[in-house]
Every structure is written in C-alpha cells, then in structure tokens.
Amino acid sequence: MNNQLLAIGLTTLDIVARAIDQLPAAEGAVLIEGAACAPAGTAAACAMIASRLGLKAGLISAVGDDMTGRLVRHGLETEGVDVGRLAVLPGFPTSTTLLPIDSRGGRPVLHAPGAGSFTEVGPEDHAALAGAGFVHYGGIGGLKLDGGAGAAFLAAAKAVGAVVTCDLIAPQPSALAELERVLPHIDYFMPSAVEARGLTGLTDLSAAADRFIALGAKACIIKNGEEGALLAVDGAKIVVPAHVVEVVDTTSCGDSFCAGFIVGLSRGWTPLEACRLAAATAALVAQGLATFGRLIDFESTAAAMSLLPLREAA
C-alpha cells in the first residue's frame, strides 16, 4: 500500500531529561525526575506521530551508520513508519539533540548536526509520491535540498495532487531565499511565531502570515506555544486556542501539531477542525517527555479535543 503521508527532511534522536536547573559541579551526580529518548526532527517526528494517529506514513531522510541511527530506525519501524527511503550515510553520525528541560518547562536545545542535514531526493523518492495524499516538508536548510531540489520535489508533489505542508527548524536568514522558491508549492505553511517574526521582521503574526501568503503559500498557520495558533486561510484569520494542561515537556509540540493537522485533513475535516485536532495532539505531547509525551492513538486524541479545557484567548 502507498503511504498516505510522505515526510521529508530532518531526522534526529532527541534525548530529553528533566528537571535540570543547573548542572552538577565537576563530576558531581544528582538524581533527576526522568529522561527519555525518541526519534524526532521536523520530518521523522511528524511521520511517527501521524502514524500513531492512524495515518500510513513514510519518511525520506537520513541517519548515520552508528548505533543512534539503528535506534532511530528501530523506533520508527516499531511505530509503523515506512523507513524504506531512510538513507544510512556511511561515516556520518546521526543528528542528535540534547534537551535539558528546567523545572519551569524551559527547553534549551543542544544540537549535534549529522546525517539528517544531508537528506536528498532521488528518482525513487519522486516515484514514492504516487498515491501520497500529503507531503510534509521539513527540509528547509537541508544542504542537498536547498537551492532547487526540494522545490522541484514539492512541485512534483503538487503535480500528482498531494496537499503540501511545511514546517521550519531553526531557520537561518538564508532560509528566506529558499522560502521564495518553495512557498509557491505549499498549501499550508506552518512556522512557529518566533520563526515567522524572525524571518519577516514583523511582530504582528497576522501581517507575517500575509507576507508568507504573498510569497506564494496558499494558507499559513503560525504556531504560538500556549497562545495557540493563528490560522490564515481563504482570506480569514482565526486564533485556535491551546489547551490548558500540566506541561512536562513541550519538545515536539510543533511537529505533533503538524501531524495532527494533517491527520485531521486526511479525514476530510476543515482546516479549522484539523487545527483543533492538532492542538489536542500537541497538548497530549506536552504532558510527557519526548516526542510522544502522553499521546496514545487517534480516538483518545479526538476525545481530548472536548475533554481538555481551552485556554482563553488573551
């Protein structure tokens, strides 16, 4: 069976631990509340979470030929993600991120780049587009994707009728040139508020969404942490509130929001309904450590849409 979702871009191993307010001096040791590791990254986290929510998902990405890469592949496989297009790059480490979460939920990021930055698309990947209803692009900044290859892949995705979504990760100023290339092929551009403001220089999120739409995106969803998300679609702007939850760790909230949104659309829901499923998905992820947090399946996530209280719009 073809994959309903193809996610392309970064794959990492996330190693999350809390609560870490300061490191022990020298070689001192302390006990902490908990730690977890899981496959993550803009492409892999979205594919893995969508798979847990019942969508058949495949991944186009790369890991190194190290133990971390084998762990990541195994984790993705056990979650039902098609890793047939997950390349193993000899001599490369697998991209890895350390996230020492503090007691207030603050999340410093220490990233060791690796194979994930060298994801590329070949003819087999173009062939894999057949039958994919959704393509999620987390490849901006990719050394082999920026400059034309990523945009050509998304143009091919549109040509076969796929819905194309796109998220960013730590974009450099150079991402703006790449965005001009890819946005005309993107149906839903889904940056975070920090990324949207950083790239446009605009503080107003509504104006930032308009800028991305002017650059070619058909619609824009700006994720804004506990403030929720701004959906700009068909000329309308709607704030989708976040849920009120006991936050343990917001790692992968952005990726899980994207996955929940795609799953909602795949069920024929409107963009607004899909954003509400996305907010519930992220709220469950925020309640536990690492990529999944407390996310279980589609049914319990759909139920959480009405069970979890919503934060009042500020």
Ligand X SMILES: Nc1ncnc2c1ncn2[C@@H]1O[C@H](COP(=O)(O)OP(=O)(O)OP(=O)(O)O)[C@@H](O)[C@H]1O
> Among all residues, whose Cβ is closest to ligand X?
254
**Which partner from the list ligand X, Mg ion, none does 181 bind, CB cut-off 5 to 8 Å by kind?**
none
| Binder among 18, 52, 85, 243 for ligand X (CB under 6 A) | 243
How far, in Å, CA of 108 to CA of 106, rounded? 7
Tell me the window of 92-100, 135-143, 203-211, 281-289 that interacts with ligand X (CB under 6 A): 281-289
From candidates 83, 101, 282, 295, binder to ligand X by CB under 6 A? 282
User: Residue 252 touches which of Mg ion, ligand X, none (CB < 5 to 8 A by kind)?
Assistant: ligand X
- The binder of ligand X chosen from 242, 274, 277, 289 (CB under 6 A): 242
Residue of 11, 68, 250, 266 that binds ligand X (CB under 6 A): 250
Question: What's the order of all strands across the beta sheet hosting 5-9?
Answer: 82-89, 57-64, 5-9, 134-138, 163-166, 188-189, 219-223, 229-233, 236-240
For 117, counting Cβ atoms within 10 Å of its Cβ (0-12 exposed, 13-18 middle, 19+ buried), the class is middle
Kindly list the distances between the CA atom of residue 161 and the CA atoms of 154, 156, 158, in Å, as whole numbers in the listed order. Answer: 11, 9, 5
State the nearest-atom distance from the C-beta of 252 to ligand X, in Å: 5
Ranges within 164-203 binding ligand X (CB under 6 A): 192
Rounded Cα distance between 155 and 239, Å, is 30
Tokens describing residue 210: 């308009």
What's the per-residue H, E or C state across 152-221?
A: HHHHHHHHCCCEEEECCCCCCCCHHHHHHHHHHHCCEECCEHHHHHHHHCCCCHHHHHHHHHHCCCCEEE
Q: Which residue is nearest to Mg ion (CB)?
A: 254
Q: For ligand X, give the closer residue by CB, 7 or 87.
A: 7
Q: Least CB distance from residue 167 to Mg ion, whole Å? A: 6
CA distance 295 to 243: 14
Nearer residue to ligand X within complex by CB, 252 or 301 = 252
Say whether residue 247 binds ligand X (CB under 6 A). Answer: yes
101 binding partner (options Mg ion, ligand X, none; Cβ < 5 to 8 Å by kind):
none
Q: Tell me which residues touch ligand X (CB under 6 A).
A: 192, 223-226, 228-229, 242-243, 245, 247, 250, 252-255, 257, 279, 282-283, 286
